[in-house]
Amino acid sequence: MSIKNLAAILDPAAPDDRPLIIQVSPEGDEESRLSYGAGRERIAALARGLLKRGLRRGDAVAIVAANSADYLMLYMATMAAGLVSVCVNHKLPRETVAHIMKDSAVKLAVADAERAPIVSELVPTEAIERLDALLDPGPFAPVDMAPEEVAMVLYTSGSTGLPKGVPLTHGGYIWATGATPEQRPGIEGRKAIIAAPLFHMNGLFSAKLVMINGGTIVLMTAFTARGYIRAIDRLRVDMVTSVPTMLALVMRETEELARADLGCVTTAVTGSAPSTAEFFGQMHRLFPNAETANSWGTTESGPIGFGPHPDGIAKPPGSLGYPRRGIEVKFVGGDDTQGVLHIRTPALMTGYLNREADTKKRLVDGWYDTGDVMRRDENGFVFFVGRADDMFQCGGENVYPGEVEKLLGQHPDVAQVCVVPVADEIKYQLPVAFVVPKPGASPSEDVLRRFALDNGPAYAHPRAVWFVPELPLAGTNKIDRRTLVEQAAASYARDAGRRV
């Protein structure tokens, strides 16, 4: 029987007593366990309870809370009941949360104690800590949904202006959960750690893949590098999911890593941000027994894009992979080997919520303009070059920060790097870099600038390098480039007097 509701992906073959979710604290300590049997009952009781509140098919229910087992149960129950789950970044300011509530016509919100006072001023609100008040115990069969009906609305990060709502359908995401066949073998009963926030596609889709394949989710309520290491070690986690900045922070915890045994990890997946071949070398050392993978996807076009080569050709280091079956790609604004990636997938959004102009800008004849500059090699493997909107011009030359970051990342003393532009009267913009050194390393600005000049184009070398203990993160655990652009402008102006 075909699945007609995304909530029905919870593996029916998983025994009732198998752990579905092991919730752990930011320190890596186990807080609670929920079995598959109890999870099925809770999803059914919540779905019945939501409908008992008078909600109707297609109504929106917002979740404004930190990670928890109940977050996932409510998310699944909302969709099971034929409602629309709106996953809200709980770190957003009140004005932005208010915009989301109005934009997606939220009828009911569930918020944790920290956010409930704000959210309750906007829409009817229940506390996630008292979620039992919504329960109506009893059997419940997920509502049959048409493939084009909306299952959830995720919001883009909103680095410029208010975040945009992205409606995603049952049919599109049911397709997506089955489009990664290489991740299915052996997942049954394995533990996968998820520490990314559940309002973001990375964490949410990772959770769905584990649930549909009968695995156990080790869910961190909030990410810390030490807690992540401890949870993997103590619970003998088989699979790790992450974004690169999270693993970069993990790699710096040398004392904690020395006490831990991460040999239990057999699969390590990172995504949602670019990674270098050097970074994957570090991942191999971090997880010596693991196969590593770099995933790519966008909220708008779906969580997956690339995978193994159909002819079995080995994926080269640093590649995202080969376009998956059912996905069409083309490069625009360059040539056949490099340009801005446009993509069509069965999980593609129909358009931004209440944003006709933005939809027309990004969706052209059924193709989604990702804004990611990519290149492909002779075998069709695709590599990330940089964001088109991150690109800037220096003396008439296009500078892609991602390419400069990859170059500087090859230096043995560099753990992390972020390159941003600063204004210049002559060159228009100049590249500058924020660098996190590897533990115990003390590289100098002159050494890294010379390294860039010796190994890359002169116009792209950083005119200034600032060493920082860590890079700022946005709510999605990606590097907060906007903050660094502001810091760079202030620091470069301050240091101008001592520069030649």
Is the pLDDT confidence value at 459 over 70? Answer: yes
Q: Mention the CATH class of domain 392-498.
A: alpha beta
Residue range 383-410, pLDDT digits in tens: 888 788 888 888 878 888 888 998 999 9
pLDDT of residue 185: 44
194, burial (CB in 10 Å: exposed 0-12, middle 13-18, buried 19+): buried
Is the pLDDT confidence value at 425 over 90? Answer: no
Residue range 43-87, pLDDT digits in tens: 999 999 999 999 999 999 999 999 999 999 999 999 999 999 999
What are the strands, taking DSSP E only, across 88-156? 106-111, 125-127, 150-155
% of residues, the chain, pLDDT over 70: 95
Identify the CA nearest to 493 among candidates 464, 455, 456: 464
Residue range 342-355, pLDDT digits in tens: 999 999 998 999 99
* Domain residue ranges in the chain: 1-220, 392-498
Average pLDDT over residues 161-167: 90
Better-scored residue on pLDDT, 280 or 312: 312
- Alpha-carbon span 188 to 202, nearest angstrom: 20
C-alpha to C-alpha distances, 355 to 162, 167, 360, 361, nearest whole angstrom = 11, 12, 9, 10
> With bands split at pLDDT 50, 70 and 90, how would you rate the model's confidence at 186?
low
Q: Same CATH topology for 1-220 and 392-498?
A: no
pLDDT of residue 500: 41
% of residues, the chain, pLDDT over 90: 67
Residue range 96-131, pLDDT digits in tens: 999 999 999 999 999 999 999 999 999 999 999 999
> With bands split at pLDDT 50, 70 and 90, how would you rate the model's confidence at 18?
very high
Q: Which CATH superfamily is domain 1-220 in?
A: ANL, N-terminal domain (3.40.50.12780)
Q: Residue 59 is encoded by which pair of tokens?
A: 């109504």
Q: For the whole model, what pTM was predicted?
A: 0.83
Sheet containing 216-220: which strands, arranged edge to edge? 30-35, 19-24, 216-220, 191-194, 239-242, 267-271, 291-295
